[in-house]
Structure 1
Amino acid sequence: MFRDLSRPIETGMPTYPGDPDVTLSPDATHGEDGYATSELRAGTHAGTHVDAPRHALPDGEPIDGADVGRFAFDARLVDCRPLEPREPIAAEALPEPDALDPAVDLLVLRTGWASHWGADRYRDHPYLTAAAARRCRALGVGVGLDAFGPDPTPPGSAEDTGPPRGGEPGGTPAHDALLRDSLPIVENLCGLDGLPERFRLYAFPLRLRDGDGSPVRAVAEWEE
């Protein structure tokens, strides 16, 4: 079985606060030119995408520096629901080291926030605590999420972020912890309901020279 877990790339789609807007518009048309091409303008972290270490670390590995096989994951689904807006996900919500199959290299965290895509509330997704990020490092696994990312997202525009909300970490500590060990982060997944606990996840990035991340076509595969 295969299932697409990625968001369509389209004009006006939600983007992380401060990131470039996405536009997809005709460039040539069958009527006028006899063929069709389109112009796509988007940031490297638009829609469903994978982060490269270069995203958080100035000297981190770029997206085109990783072997392509590193983007074919043995994934385990972790249902973290129910969660409140901006609720921290504790280490205890993740598998214990002795309860995780050593073949697993990606934990896909189902927060339930995929249902808020396109609404302001999507910014108020849950996030990983420092302890949860440390557990991922100890397990040697990356994370996939149905949200903007593993750190809190500013509630408004980049110009109106303000200080961290009470108890929330500033900056991108979960990104830093994971990407420092070249552990993958796959963001803005969808379609997680009904997936089995174990599956393969393919999230191949574009080969962007020295890129800090890339949109992906995220696809789950499993046996019935």
Structure 2
Amino acid sequence: MHVDLTQPIETGMQTYPGDPEVAVRPHATDEEDEARVSALECGSHTGTHVDAPAHTEPDGKTLDGYPLERFVFDAVRVDCRDLEAREPIPASRVPDSDADLVAFWTGWDAHWGTDQYLEHPYLSPAAAETCADRGLDVAVDALNPDPTPTENASADEPEGVQAHHALLGDESLILENLTGLGAVGDRFELRAYPLALASDGAPVRAVGVVSE
């Protein structure tokens, strides 16, 4: 069974604060041009997407530096739905697993499109470092593995993008804005092929493959 774990790309969709706005608009129409063509404007980190090391690391790889098979993951899902807004995911939640990727299931996709989506749980720096040490890529059903800056941020939250640096600095990939992780099991195959961009990141069609 194939499960779509992707947020659809559409005009006005939620983005990371300050990122380019998303617009999908008609360019050609059946009536006037005998064919339909849409114009798409978006940033490289729009919707469900993958971060390459070049996103935060000055000498990091871009997506074209990886073979296609690098975007097929043996994933383990970790239930973090008990965590509250802006609560860190501790290193103790990181599994000692032979998987390729850990998908942190926060349930925060339920807040997609709202201000509350920015108040998601996040990876503690120790948790991110543990993932990197264990060779695990990371996926989240939230906006960011780091805390997203808002007026609700507390003084004791980690500054900057420490989780990104720990992971991308070790060439672990990051997938953000997944949705529907409740429809896959605790172990599943995740396929998340990015657009063919020589870029710091790109939207993906994230698909979970589970045994029926």
Q: Could you say which TM-score interval applies, normalised by the shorter chain?
A: over 0.9
**Residue aligning to 1:221:** 209
Give 1:130's aligned residue. Answer: 125
Which whole-Å deviations, capped at 9, do the CAs of 1:173-195 have from their partners, x for residues lacking one?
Answer: 00000001110100000011131
Partner of 1:14: 14
Secondary structure, counterpart of 2:190 in structure 1: strand
Note the residue ranges of structure 2 that are not aligned, 5 or more in a row: none
Q: Which runs of 5+ in 1 are unaligned?
A: none
Letter in 2 for 1:126: P
Give the corresponding residue for 2:80: 80
Matched, 1:91 2:91: yes
Query: Which among 132, 138, 142 is matched to residue 137 of structure 2?
Result: 142
The alignment's TM-score, normalised by the length of structure 2, stands at: 0.97
Which residue of structure 1 lines up, in the alignment, with residue 163 of structure 2?
A: 174
Cα distance, 1:154 vs. partner? 1.4
2:172 partner SS? coil
- The amino acid across from 2:32 in the alignment is E
1:192 pairs with one of 181, 184, 198: 181
Kindly provide the amino acid, as one letter, of the partner of residue 204 in structure 2.
Answer: V
Query: How do 1:60-71 residues align onto structure 2 when only pairs under 5 Å count?
Result: 60-71=60-71
Partners of 2:190 and 2:141 lie apart in 1 by 14
| Percent of paired sites with the same residue | 53
Matches of 2:8 and 2:105, distance apart in 1: 19
Q: 1:49 is matched with which residue?
A: 49
Q: TM-score, normalised by structure 1?
A: 0.92
Amino acid across the alignment from 1:36: R
Tell me which moved more, 147-156 or 170-179. 147-156
Aligned to 1:112: 107
Preserved CA contact (<8 Å) 2:3 2:183 = no
> How far apart, CA to CA, are the structure 1 residues paired with 2:11 and 2:144?
21
Deviations 1:85-106 (A, max 9, x none): 10011011221x3xx2x2x110
Three-state SS of the structure 2 residue aligned to 1:147 is coil
Q: How much has 1:155 moved relative to structure 2?
A: 1.7
Find the aligned partners of 1:24 and 1:56 in 2 and give their Cα distance: 28
Q: CA deviation at 1:165?
A: 2.4
Q: Say if 2:117 and 2:142, in contact at 8 Å, map to a contact too.
A: yes
Q: Which deviations, in whole Å up to 9, do the C-alpha atoms of 1:68-100 show, x marking residues without a partner? A: 1100000011101211110011011221x3xx2
**Contact 2:190/2:207, CA 8 A, preserved across alignment:** yes
Deviation at 1:138, TM superposition (A): 1.9
Q: How many residues are aligned here?
A: 212
4-13 vs 86-95, which deviates more? Answer: 86-95
Residues of 2 paired with 1:38 and 1:194: CA distance? 31
2:183 aligns to what SS in structure 1? coil
Instruction: Give, as a single letter, the amino acid of the residue that structure 1 aligns with 2:100.
Output: D
Instruction: After the TM superposition, list the runs of 4 or more consecutive aligned residues in structure 1 that deviate by more than 3 angstroms.
Output: none
Q: Deviations over 1:12-54 (max 9, x none)?
A: 0000000000000000000111000000000000000000000
